[in-house]
Structure 1
Amino acid sequence: MSPATKRRLLSAICIVGFFVAWELICLAFNVSALVLPRPTAIFYTLWEKMPGIWPHAVQTLYTTMVGFALGVLIGVLLGMLIGSSRLAYDVAYPMLVGFSSIPKVAIVPILVLWFGAGTVPAILTAMVMCIFPIVVNVATGLASTEPELQDVMRSLKATKLEILWNIGLPRTMPYFFASLKVAVTLAFVGTVISETVASNRGIGNLMMIASSTFDVPLVFAGLFILAALGVLLYAVFSAIEARVTGWAVRSDSFASR
């Protein structure tokens, strides 16, 4: 058995062990389902109510991906601007830091006032959550481009746009994909925040309705679905990252120590 297979097997055993321990603790201490439902009760709720849960999960995934795509597009453009212009850095970066410091739950009522309750505020909230990590990482990747490479390109009469396209953007790819994996999880946070405040569809709305009726297993079922979707998209972007930026991964020996 290869070391990678052993590592994956050990990870799976640890995850299963976590849920087994959760189940046993709830049984041993007779924990009420209103406080902490057992994993078996949560999985049973998922199985039993999946026909009703599925449309909410699809709505949340759709909203998250649209907001995520818009956030990536805007974040890349802003990151390129900030990373390639000192003036843009001095002007835009403090504004971005200030805006990202605002709790996003405080923005949702404003979006509802502008666009009404529904899908649009959820999309915009997910977009806003994505922008900052994308901008920071793209700008950092451009700023870390080796000056020697830029000097070589200038000696070949390359324009600033050609330098950006041939050196800056490839150098940014490891930072960009790292930010994607962070941003996609934040996008789910933004979507659920908006769905709990101003939507009649989605996992966030489902969880609010379930909590109002004290259906705690259904609340945890919603959390499990969000976690599963987040892990799935994280794995997708990790696989794409390995294919696109494999040259940037030197070794995992540090993590193994």
Structure 2
Amino acid sequence: MNPWIAKGRQWLVGAVTMLVFLVVWEAVVRLLHVRPITLPPPSAVVDELSSEWGWYLGHTAYTLLTTLGGFVLSVVIGVLLAMMLVGSRWFEHAVYPLIVALNSVPKVAVAPLFVIWLGTGSEPKIAIAFLIAVFAVIVDAVHGLRSVPQDVLDLGRVLKGSTLDFFLKVRLPCALPSILTGMKVAISLALVGAIVGEFVASQRGLGYVILSAQGTFDTTRVFAAVFMLALLGILLYGSLAWAERRLTPWRRA
């Protein structure tokens, strides 16, 4: 079967499933006369978004920028740390327990500290997004760097290249599928981190929209912001999935 036809069928099934879900949601709310403050119908959410689409788009763009900032930092620093962990047994024994301990700390608990240290701008949101996302990158990158086939390692030793060349030309390409997998997990976590940061202290972003709407019991606005978050998460994850298919074509099968 043509891969484009197969992919189109997958998208069609997903779209039909989502449409059926929305139709059932609308019908249940109307038939049971559920109050909008409890559960608004999808039509009300669409009306909310269409009436103030520019306002929602601005807040979505702010959340997107902070998410990407934390994500890029997590990838760069996470891959560098993974290379150091794999390359030095001493560094692994000294630093890896600290990384695990930091990951075990609830990020909501330390989020106010980032506001104290970095202010109320975009910096604390980026820092929290980075802190939440980086561990996934480190774990998958370390797994990939250590999963290089033994015959490839032996070939690298026979060619007698430098340690840096061996990492860049042998280990890193072989670890790319695992790194990309970690990146797909990290992008979702970075979005969560950005929202956590906006919950703590922000005047912009979808997290701020949700928090302010919750304070006025505007459930429709909460659902509208959540819908934009879901759409943003799908687009970010889909972009990385597309990049993974292009960068690792041998894994398509």
TM-score, normalised with respect to structure 2:
0.94
Paired residue type of 1:68: F
Q: Aligned pair 1:110/2:116, yes or no?
A: no
Q: Does 1:220 align with 2:223?
A: yes
Aligned partner of 2:130 among 116, 119, 127: 127
Q: Does 1:83 align with 2:86?
A: yes
Corresponding residue for 1:95? 98
Letter in 2 for 1:20: V
Q: Which moved more, 1:85-94 or 1:213-222?
A: 85-94
Alpha-carbon offset, residue 210 of structure 1: 0.8
Structure 1 SS opposite 2:39 = coil
Select 1:246's aligned residue among 246, 249, 252.
249
1:205 equivalenced with 2:208 (yes/no): yes
Runs of 4+ in 1 over 4 A off after TM superposition: none
C-alpha distance in 2, partners of 1:67/1:106?
18
- State how 1:2-21 maps to structure 2 within 5 Å: 2-21=5-24
Q: 2:114, 2:124 within 8 Å by CA — same for their partners in 1?
A: yes
Moved more, 151-160 or 224-233: 151-160
**Counterpart position of 2:33:** 30
Cα deviation for residue 235 of structure 1 reads: 0.9
1:255 counterpart residue number: none
Cα displacement string for residues 128-180 of structure 1 (whole angstroms, at most 9, x for unaligned residues): 11110011111110011112211111112222222211110011111111111
**Which 5+ residue runs of structure 1 have no aligned equivalent?**
252-257
Give me the identity figure in percent.
Answer: 37
RMSD (Å) for aligned C-alpha atoms: 1.4
Distance in structure 2 (CA, Å) of the matches to 1:7 and 1:190: 30
Other-structure match for 1:141: 144
List gaps (5 residues or longer) in structure 2.
none
- Counting matched residue pairs gives 250
CA contact (8 A) 2:195 2:207 kept: yes
Q: Supply the distance in 2 between the matched residues of 1:51 and 1:157 (Cα, whole angstroms).
A: 58
